[in-house]
Amino acid sequence: MFKKLSVLAMTFVLLLGCLPMLSAHAAGNATAKTPGNSNPLMDHKLGADPFALTYNGRVYIYMSSDAYVYNSNGTVKDNDFSALNKINVISSADMVNWTDHGAIPVAGANNVNGSAGIAKWASLSWAPSAAVKKINGQDKFFLYFANGASGIGVLTANSPLGPWTDPLGKALVTGSTPGMSGVTWLFDPAVLVDDDGSGYLYAGGGIPNNSDPASIASPKTARVLRLGADMTSIVGSASTIDAPYMFEDSGIHKYGGKYYYSYCINFSGSHPAAYPAGEIGYMVSNSPMGPFTYTGHFLKNPYTFFGVGGNNHHAVFNFNNEWYVVYHAQTVAKAVLGDGKGYRSPHINKLFHNSNGTIQEVQGNMAGVAQIANLNPYNRVEAETIGWNAGITTERSQASGGPVGNMNVTNINNGDWVAVGNADFGNGASSFKANVASATGGGKIEIRLDSATGPLVGTLNVPATGGAQSWQEVQTTVSNAAGVHRLFLVFTGSGSGNLFNFDYWQFSSGGDGGTTPPPVSKVEAEDMTLSGTYAGKITSPFNGVALYANNDAASFNQYYAFGTHNFSVRGASNNSSTARVDLLIGGVNAGSFYFTGTTPTVQTLTNVAHATGNQEVKLVVTTDNGSWDAYVDYIEWSQ
């Protein structure tokens, strides 16, 4: 996760000269992620030590909350990791357009995150990892983090976005945990849920004696622990992983029935060629508890690819039957500051296993991975879903609806823009609407195709709404928007300061703007067949149904000629808690919809694969704990 100054002195030279004052980049220009490239995943904010969780057709990336730290004269100092008390989260269904879900305020000691800090005992939250496991028939989510280098904590939730709670009120793993003695840095957790549901936690790092070649070559500071069935307890004693030249950054994945433990090789002393300093090495075992055998290395230090080094941190994951590695590099900070200064940003590149199980060297680059699915512009799209951008930032939003912890785009100035890749307009769009708020005179959103100066297909006037969080949905007509394009929303207006805030956008079809894209089918909940002990019809907050307890359901039969659709459900919770409704198609779980609060919202699952022919479509509650009820208005779907 970090390196002491003495270690940094032995590695790549990072400081290239005196650092100028930090200033905003020119409006209209992307900072580091340029249109056409997929790396870094985001450049409107930072994020380090990334870990990937795949769930219901999306990749969720959890990261340490790197943020610029300043000297008293306003210049940016080297990263001292003091800002790492939150966990940043982004997610994507297509690997190019990433939704910013904001930061989880993990640390709560000494009022570090105000009253919002979740783990009251922790002052830091470094290098997270996450897992999902079905417990008592319900999907439960677990977020592991390091309190500096002194211990591992865990948070739990019913969705990958929270809300999160601290089930223990203390660290899960400390130096007093059996088997953890001798670990220099107790941090960098990585979690694995095996095929049988058993959980394992990998952690540790550091070199006991930097002046001893034997200690450098065999630090013996990596550990694996068996998790209890609840994922929040430890069973037995930790086992030592004798990782050669171990430094930090535990990683774990399973491939071909084998377990792959990977880690960052240390920088100290001299190394044999098989253990290159600052690269990701890996070991293989027939058991998740080891013993592991060193096999090779597969990811060079970021300096090799990007000309700026620092520590190496990674996670290997599978999404849609393809393997990837997510890692960090100081590319955004280099673009902003001229030198990384230790501030990291997430990247993803493909990873390939050879036929004999070894791993090929990963080619890190700014191109990243190609977009794997088109974006549907006829669904509600969060403004903070960003492929590329210029000038903007994001913030927590007070707008109703949206995902858990809804965000909005802000810091909008004349010439700034946000863009998404491969929006599929089908045969044509006729209108565009957006949810906006402005405490000033507002401005305009120019709707352009292919580039920030590409064809103008519409202009939305953004009025003054009476406040930066006073939201209003406005609409305009569009024309000549058909087929698949990059979509650029370019902001214009006069005056200095934030022109307006931007919550979400959505296109529609018909009228003068074009012919109908793939049709949308809709079934009202009150017209469905109800089952379960308590399910019933309601008239408030809409005409629909209420699902009060586990196995309460609303269902109907539908013939599907095609095996992939986007599904949207309008619903609400009966209180401020988050209600969850599962979608089953032909008896197979196709995803879950989450509704927070009593204001009805539309939630969407994109690119859902399912069986064709006559299928039972069921909306069912399976995770009720007595604290919420789910209200459902309707379900609709489109290709």
| Catalytic residue list | 49, 248
Three-class DSSP category at 522: strand
CA distances from 195 to 108, 253, 359, 387, 523 (A): 34, 12, 22, 34, 37
Residue 514 main-chain phi, psi, to 5 deg: 160, 175
Alpha carbon distance 502, 447 (integer Å): 14
CB atoms within 10 A of CB 70: 11
Element (H, E) at 474: strand 472-477
Return the amino acid letter for 158.
N
Residue 76: how many CA atoms within 13 Å on its side-chain side?
22
- Whether the CB-CB separation of 259 and 284 falls below 8 Å is answered with yes
Nearest to 327 by CA among 32, 33, 41: 41
Nearest to 547 by CA among 605, 624, 616: 624
Tokens describing residue 387: 């492929």
- Whether the CB-CB separation of 636 and 519 falls below 8 Å is answered with no
- CA quadruple 280, 285, 290, 295: dihedral positive or negative? negative
Nearest to 205 by CA among 284, 311, 107: 311
Tell me which residue has tokens 């610029």. 68
Alpha carbon distance 406, 397 (integer Å): 6
Judged by phi (left if over 0) then psi (alpha if -120 to 50, else beta), residue 619 lies in: beta
Nearest to 78 by CA among 26, 146, 2: 2
- Whether the CB-CB separation of 415 and 462 falls below 8 Å is answered with no
In sequence order, the 6+-apart residues with CB closer than 8 A to the CB of 104 are: 86, 87, 88, 89, 118, 125, 143, 155, 162, 164, 405
In sequence order, the 6+-apart residues with CB closer than 8 A to the CB of 331 are: 32, 39, 40, 306, 308, 340, 345, 347, 366
Tokens describing residue 112: 């570090």
What end-to-end distance do the CA atoms of the chain give, in Å?
A: 43
Burial level of 638, CB count in 10 A (0-12/13-18/19+)?
middle
Alpha carbon distance 111, 552 (integer Å): 42
Residue 391 main-chain phi, psi, to 5 deg: 90, -20
- Whether the CB-CB separation of 81 and 5 falls below 8 Å is answered with no
CA distances from 491 to 42, 206, 217, 445 (A): 19, 48, 55, 5
Three-class DSSP category at 453: coil
CB atoms within 10 A of CB 106: 28
